[in-house]
């Protein structure tokens, strides 16, 4: 009879041992599953945010597509999809040449880590010419299809060999798109 009393006890201990091993073996899996559920929720939130942004951009593109072809070209010419420094240099050089101004230097200042969809770059120009040429140059910059906003003009008057010359520095901003 003693043998019969030990059998259920041993069975009970074995069942408890198996349960304990099972719990310790499954516990990391349960924790991993909980972490995955949290990560999945974060991804779902990120996905819905991206879908909202995509919807906004699609609506903007649809509005632009609904506009005339000339309007689309005008918008993209005034604020292009990339900075295109080489195109800017060519445009500014052509405006300077057309207005008899000697372009000494062009420098760009581009902010880093900017998160805006429309970014701004600052352009600094050093030039030499006459007073009338300066005024024509400023009008030429104003009439350029690319959006150029003159922030400051520094002028130094002088004379060289009886000819009045003006040295001037122009600081202006231009804009370009990102993330579209």
Scored b (16 or more CB within 10 A) or e, 167-176 reads ebebbbebbb
**Domain end residue (candidates: 39, 66, 93):** 66
Report the distance separating Cα 128 and Cα 165, nearest Å.
7
> Would you say residue 162 lies in a domain?
yes
Range of the domain at 140: 78-177
Task: Judge if pTM exceeds 0.75.
Answer: no
Q: Examine the domain organization and report whether 171 and 104 are in the same domain.
A: yes
Q: What is the pLDDT of residues 73-127, one digit of tens each?
A: 776 777 788 888 899 999 999 999 999 999 999 999 988 877 787 888 999 999 9
The pLDDT, as a whole number, for residue 1 is 45
Q: Do residue 104 and residue 164 come from a single domain?
A: yes
pLDDT tens figures, 22-37: 778 878 878 888 888 8
| Cβ(63)–Cβ(96) below 8 Å | no
Based on the domain organization, do 59 and 107 belong to the same domain? no
Mean pLDDT of 129-147: 89
Based on the domain organization, do 169 and 88 belong to the same domain?
A: yes
- Looking at the fold, whether 94 and 35 belong to one and the same domain comes out as no
172 and 111 within one domain: yes
Last residue of a domain, one of 36, 66, 96: 66
The total number of structural domains that make up the chain: 2
Q: According to the model, what pLDDT value does residue 96 have?
A: 93
């Amino acid at each position: 009879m003693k043998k019969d009393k030990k059998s259920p006890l041993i069975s009970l201990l074995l069942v408890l041992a198996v349960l304990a091993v099972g719990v310790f073996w499954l516990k990391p899996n349960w924790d991993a599953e909980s972490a995955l559920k949290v990560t999945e929720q974060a991804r779902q939130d990120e996905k819905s945010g991206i879908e909202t942004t995509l919807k906004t951009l699609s609506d903007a593109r649809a509005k632009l597509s609904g506009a005339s072809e000339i309007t689309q070209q005008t918008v993209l010419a005034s604020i292009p999809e990339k900075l295109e420094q080489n195109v800017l240099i060519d445009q500014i050089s052509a405006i300077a040449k057309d207005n008899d101004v000697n372009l000494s230097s062009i420098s760009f200042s581009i902010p880093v880590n900017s998160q805006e969809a429309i970014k701004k770059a600052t352009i600094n120009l050093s030039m030499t010419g006459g007073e009338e040429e300066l005024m024509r140059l400023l009008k030429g910059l104003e009439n350029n299809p690319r959006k150029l906003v003159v922030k400051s003009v520094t002028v130094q008057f002088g004379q060289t060999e009886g000819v009045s010359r003006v040295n001037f520095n122009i600081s202006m901003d231009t804009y370009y798109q990102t993330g579209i």
